[in-house]
Amino acid sequence: MSIATKARLYGFGASLGLLVAFGGAQAQETIKLGLSVPLSGAAALWGKGSEFMCNTAAEEINKAGGVKVGDKTYDFKCIAYDNKYNAAEGTKVAQTLLNRDGVKFIGGSLGTAPVQALQSLSERQGVLLFTTAWGPSIKGPKFPLTFTQMSTPFEILPPLIRYVHKANPDAKTVVLLNPNDATGQDTEAVAKKVWTETGVKILSSDFYERGTTEFQPIAARIASLKPEIVDLGTMPPADAGTVLRELDVLGWKGVKVVEVGTGVDALKVTGGKAIEDVYMGAAVIFDGPGVSDHQKAVNAKARELLHESLNSIQIGFYDSVYAIKAGIEKAQSIGPKKVGAVMPQVKFTTFYGGQIGFHGKDTYGSNQQMELPVIITQVKDGKLVELSRISASTN
Amino acid sequence: MHTAIQLILTSLQIGAVYILFSLGLTLIFGVMRIVNFAHGHLFAISALVVAYTVPLLAGWNLPALPAYLLGVVAAVAVTLVLGFLMYVFGFRYFQRDMVGSFILSIGLVLLLDGVFLKVFGGAVRPVPEILPGTVTILGAPVTAQRLALCVAAVIITALLYWAMTRTKLGKALRAVSIDHEAAMLQGVPYGRIAFAGFMIASALAALAGALIAPVTIVSPAIGADYLIKGFIAVIVGGLGSVPGAILGGLFVAAIETVGGFYFDATSATIAIFLLVIVVLLVRPKGLLGHG
């Protein structure tokens, strides 16, 4: 071997060694956070905002040095697929996330039916699942790896309905309308119970199929029953806005409640002026002295993308990323089962401000529900006004 | 009485769009003997183009009505281009081939679903109010927009009916629909007539989409709901029959309205499917079907 060849070989070896050493020092393993959310249809805005919030939290954590387990550091990466808010697509998304992408942490999922499809795989495969799904059937000791990232009917409905009743004591009758799926049915059961306990008579409780575009017959039926309150439960904003507009055309005037109402803009798209005075249970206000610079900055960025302020559904996808980080660091493991075991004890900083953990043992049998405040809002002169903020401890 | 009038008006308002939608479906089936599952996407793209162009034009200080009319022109043009591409590169090769056209149209549905989502995004698009106000007909309130939609649908349907019975093209379409071989023996150019039928159906879907855009929830998924109802309407009325499509459209709208009013929306949907089963059992070719 000539000297020149030897020199080339040594040079190549040295370069390779440097590359490996440098690369090794730089390499930061990535933890994939799967999302099963609607990215099309009436609830697309919720899904897109959820993906945005997951990415925002992941970027913040990555910039701040990532997730630390011993001497290793991990980055987060969010991967979102469209579950179209139905079980069939939810099943496909579950297969893709768990079996193809090998995801071990679900950063968030939306819609009880698609989440049930996902959960049937995630619990079996030992994958940690965060969800906004409202159904009480998805929580409890039977599902130790499932955690809820937003308040659900059990947390929102009692204070919201009590507030609406107190503000409108003369309103004695209500008609309920919900989507005909697991989300709608679970919510309706709670709403019926709370309205009845409050002393309001339920004239009718109806369901409609998701994907419906003609709400005239539904509105005609509601108006004919002459209720003093209309509760549109878990209807997505576009659907709820359409019903309110049709009710307005028919001359119905009364108290309007959208329990999962998440903001003015999306409701206004189809509801126009008919959304005035609507009470909501899942919207968040982003102006006023109590709003932090961080909240304002993230919301401004979200508005550029979504043309709508953030809401509690989407914020749940931010909080879950921080909860997973806290869980991994507390467990000092990236094993989802180990993280799931410590999750009920972790504390993390919520987007709303302050440290929170998990509660819900009395309701669900285990602490799987984030301790979040319930914010009651109402549309006034086309703008959202915060009426009351009830902390999880007093709820 | 007031309730009856309200229900009739609601049925007519909903039925107007179902009719326009079903006429396109039945025309394509009659002439080409194919079932086009991508018809809902022709309808959807039209509504989406209106939802995009009207706010854009309104932003340039154009009044709502002219902005909407320009939006309709753009929507019809875009839909016709999509219809042309569908025909030339797809359905032309699968005429009178139910299985082939079925697979092709399902493939188109999947392709266009993805393309629409990519181009338009999944969120609901707002269309500004074009004709503000509400009018009262025999004590029942109807928005001016809905009323205009009904009037437009009646005019379009009447024009189509006149064209089908009085013009050379209409007679050729009917002849091909009844017996395409006999029509060809009489000198009817089947290929050209099939193309014309497909483009007329695309135009009907475009008009239906553009008309419904200001009063409904416009998103890339809008076509799916109308496709199911449109198919039910043509099956009930009789595949390939123009009067059948009109009757079927009104029938579906009436059941949806009356069922939804006296029971609930889910019961009404079940009732519509039950109706299809009954009609198929009693009259397999539909109420006015002949082929």
Task: Please identify which residue in the block is written with the tokens 């039926």.
Answer: A221
pLDDT at B263: 86
- For domain A154-281, the CATH architecture is 3-Layer(aba) Sandwich (3.40)
User: Each residue of B126-148: pLDDT tens digit?
Assistant: 888 899 889 999 888 889 998 99
Name the closest residue on chain B to residue A268, using Cα atoms.
B126
Percent of chain B at pLDDT > 70 equals 99
Flag if A40 and B13 touch (Cβ within 8 Å).
no
- Kindly provide the residue ranges of all beta strands, DSSP E only, lying in chain B, ordered along the sequence: 134-137, 140-143
Asked if pLDDT for residue A27 goes beyond 70, the answer is no
pLDDT at A11: 57
Asked if pLDDT for residue A270 goes beyond 70, the answer is yes
Q: What is the mean pLDDT of residues A138-145?
A: 91
pLDDT-derived band of residue A263, with 50, 70 and 90 as boundaries? confident
Q: What is the mean pLDDT of residues A332-350?
A: 96
Asked if pLDDT for residue A4 goes beyond 90, the answer is no
Compute the mean pLDDT over every residue in chain B, rounded to the nearest whole number: 91
Q: Regarding predicted confidence, which is higher, A204 or A394?
A: A204
- Looking at beta carbons, which residues of chain A come within 8 Å of B64? none
Asked if pLDDT for residue A24 goes beyond 60, the answer is no
Asked if pLDDT for residue A46 goes beyond 90, the answer is no
Domain boundaries, chain A: 29-150+291-372, 154-281
On the 0-12 / 13-18 / 19+ scale of CB atoms within 10 A, B267 is middle
- Asked if A76 and A106 touch (Cβ cutoff 8 Å), the reply is no
- Asked if A119 and A182 touch (Cβ cutoff 8 Å), the reply is no
User: Which residues fall within 8 angstroms of residue B69, CB to CB, at 6 or more apart?
Assistant: none
Q: What is the mean pLDDT of residues B180-185?
A: 93
Question: Which residue blocks in chain A are alpha helix, DSSP H?
Answer: 3-26, 44-63, 87-95, 112-125, 153-167, 182-198, 216-225, 237-249, 264-271, 293-306, 312-331, 336-342, 361-364
Q: What is the mean pLDDT of residues B236-242?
A: 89
Flag if A250 and B141 touch (Cβ within 8 Å).
yes
Percent of chain A at pLDDT > 90 equals 68
Q: Regarding predicted confidence, which is higher, A3 or A300?
A: A300
Asked if pLDDT for residue B244 goes beyond 50, the answer is yes
Task: Please identify which residue in the block is written with the tokens 């897109």.
Answer: A48
pLDDT at A26: 46
The one-character DSSP state at A283 is B
Name the closest residue on chain A to residue B140, using Cα atoms.
A250
Asked if pLDDT for residue A230 goes beyond 80, the answer is yes
Pairing of strands B134-137, A383-390: unpaired
pTM of the model as a whole: 0.81
Q: Is A121 left (phi over 0), alpha (psi -120 to 50) or beta?
A: alpha
Q: Give, in order, the Cα–Cα distances in Å from A194 to each of A187, A191, B13.
A: 11, 5, 37
Q: What is the mean pLDDT of residues A206-218?
A: 89
Residues A156, A160, A161: CA angle, nearest 5 degrees: 115
pLDDT at A246: 93
Q: Domain A29-150+291-372 class? A: alpha beta
Q: If we measure between CA atoms, which residue out of A122, A94, A178, A25 comes closest to residue A340?
A: A122
pLDDT at A23: 45
Asked if pLDDT for residue A25 goes beyond 50, the answer is no
Interface residues of chain A, partner chain B, Cβ below 8 Å: 38-42, 44-45, 47-48, 82, 84, 180, 204, 206-209, 211-214, 216-218, 220-221, 224, 237-239, 242, 249-251, 266, 268-270, 272, 306
Q: How far is CA B267 from the centre of its chain?
A: 24
Name the closest residue on chain B to residue A223, using Cα atoms.
B261
User: Each residue of A63-116: pLDDT tens digit?
Assistant: 999 999 999 999 999 999 999 888 999 999 999 999 999 999 999 999 888 999
User: Each residue of A274-302: pLDDT tens digit?
Assistant: 999 999 998 888 877 778 999 999 999 99
| Coil/strand/helix, residue A290 | coil
pLDDT at A33: 97
Asked if pLDDT for residue B212 goes beyond 90, the answer is yes
Asked if pLDDT for residue A12 goes beyond 60, the answer is no
Asked if pLDDT for residue A136 goes beyond 70, the answer is yes
User: Each residue of B248-285: pLDDT tens digit?
Assistant: 999 999 999 999 889 888 888 899 999 889 988 999 88
The Cα–Cα gap between B265 and B262 comes to 9
- Asked if B47 and B183 touch (Cβ cutoff 8 Å), the reply is no
pLDDT at A308: 78
